[in-house]
Homo-oligomer: A and B are copies of this chain.
Amino acid sequence: MSVKKAGVLGATGSVGQRFILLLANHPDFEIAALGASSRSAGKKYIDAVTWKQTELLPEIAEDIIVSECTAENFADCDIVFSGLDADYAGSIEKAFVEAGLAVVSNAKNYRREVDVPLVVPIVNPEHLLVIEKKIEIAKAAGEKKPGFIICISNCSTAGLVAPLKPLVDSFGPLDALTTTTLQAISGAGFSPGVSGIDVLDNIVPYIGGEEDKMEWETKKILGGVNAEGTEFKPLTDDELKVSAQCNRVAVSDGHTECISFRFAKRPAPSVEEVKQVLRDYVCDASKLGCHSAPKQAIHVLEAQDRPQPRLDRNRDRGYGVSVGRIRADPVLDFKMVVLSHNTIIGAAGSGILIAEILKSKNMI
């Protein structure tokens, strides 16, 4: 099996560091290029980065010379992972796509484009078909394989939709959904990220842009595609009402969400039926045998005080989402607690798994 050449944009940032950790010793990919700002370009990676991960910097990445984020520098990459800040991602990623490169991005810039898949790989890999279609069309037209971009969802969105998608597949659409998040600080990066004084004996009940992202992205991920398979049709506000309240808390990794939701169809399923669907869920990435796919995509926990970030965030190396306290809700139908690893399933990890799916489908 061939090993694909991978590039990482924003390689010195917190998402970029995670991409590098996950690519080191990966059977499908090898790091071919690392891109960062001009301040870092020309330096060895180990000299350019302030490494802040709890796992050590992989030796394999230490001596790679960081380059600037131009399409030329990544021309021979089969896949490019972008951990760029939104301030830079827009123009750089556009240039990469125009140069025919395949980009998987953690930035928010292109998530709402009608022809860009917004993918949580354990949830809606079928949205990648829009890209497959695009490749087919080009092929049929005798054109060379086009560049494309696939967006990773916002971190807190990923945890939210993970248990909802199998439920919708089994019991039909939701019509109302609320989530209150308790989000980890790693989601805010490291330079400087969340200030210590803001999370020591404190909560910050606001994360800029986050609630809007959750409310919008959920409707695209749980929504469909047009008849031609070329454009996404997010759910409308009439079809699904979503309300998010986001908080930053003193947790390093792992977003906890207290969610409640109502199905459109009456009668609603029972608590036990909901649990059973979640327990039985097998994601496509597992069926495809992808290297990083979780053995169990959704872990249904029965202990009354779980999931907890410190104890549950690393299930299936962070690719498994934990759900606990599934119970009837006096206002909507059900309420439950969802925990997801924000830098794995909510960011870099999902990027890697998307690329594994692309490879298994010969899209890269």
Contact = CB atoms under 8 A, between A and B. Distances in A.
Interface of A: 52-56, 176-178, 180, 182, 185-186, 190, 192-206, 215, 237, 241-243, 245, 247, 249-252, 256, 258, 260, 304-311, 314-315, 324-325, 329-332, 335, 337
B314 A205 contact: no
21 contacts: A178-B260, A180-B180, A180-B258, A182-B203, A182-B249, A190-B197, A194-B195, A200-B251, A201-B252, A204-B308, A205-B308, A205-B324, A205-B337, A206-B304, A215-B330, A241-B330, A242-B330, A242-B331, A243-B329, A247-B258, A249-B249
A315 B237 CA distance: 39
A249 B248 CA distance: 11
A251 B247 CA distance: 13
- Those 6 A-B pairs whose CB atoms lie nearest each other, nearest first: A180-B180, A192-B192, A206-B305, A245-B258, A202-B310, A194-B196
A193 B199 CA distance: 12
Given A202-B309, A205-B307, A325-B205, A195 B192 contact: yes
A29 B221 CA distance: 48
Contact of A195 (B178, B195, B241, B311): B195
A324 to B, nearest CB: 7
How many copies of this protein are present in the complex?
4
Given A199-B200, A305-B204, A243 B215 contact: no
Nearest to A191: B195
A249 B205 CA distance: 13
Given A203-B251, A205-B256, A243-B330, 11 more contacts: A177-B331, A180-B180, A194-B195, A196-B250, A198-B308, A199-B200, A201-B252, A201-B310, A237-B330, A241-B330, A247-B256
B314 A182 contact: no
Contacts of A196: 185, 193-196, 198-200, 250
Contacts of A243: 260, 329-332, 335
A303 to B, nearest CB: 9
A258 B242 CA distance: 15
A256 B202 CA distance: 10
Contacts of A256: 203, 205, 247
B311 A54 contact: yes
A56 B308 CA distance: 12
Nearest to A190: B197
A250 B200 contact: yes
Contacts of A202: 251, 308-311
A135 B189 CA distance: 53
Nearest to A56: B315
A250 B252 contact: no
Given A201-B252, A305-B206, A182 B247 contact: yes
A54 B331 CA distance: 34
Contacts of A206: 304-306, 325
A335 B242 CA distance: 12
